[in-house]
Structure 1
């Protein structure tokens, strides 16, 4: 081991992972609202398909 002090170079370009911009966390209420909207749209599409496939010549 050497007793000389080594000069260490520090890179100023280093960016810590914590400094990166994180997307805002959405509340559970917002997520539930979006999920209900999607579920309603899918249910409406399913019902419209059933109506289109319905045999009216009973």
Structure 2
């Protein structure tokens, strides 16, 4: 009888471990997307500053 309970506990633990990596991967992709967007915005800001810069010395 105790082996049936132990098997049920092991099965529950296995599914919990199986589901854990998915949110971590999602967080990594979201962070990567955010960094890409931040880089594009920074590039636009720098381009605007160059356009506004007065080159007359």
TM-score by length of 2: 0.55
TM-score by length of 1: 0.54
Number of aligned residue pairs: 34
Q: Which has the higher helix share?
A: 2
Higher-Rg member (1/2) = 1
For structure 2, the residue ranges without an aligned partner over 5 or more in a row are 1-22
The alignment's C-alpha RMSD in Å is 1.5
Cα distance in 2 for partners of 1:53, 1:37 equals 25
For structure 1, the residue ranges without an aligned partner over 5 or more in a row are 1-24
After the TM superposition, which parts of structure 1 deviate over 4 Å for at least 4 consecutive aligned residues?
A: none
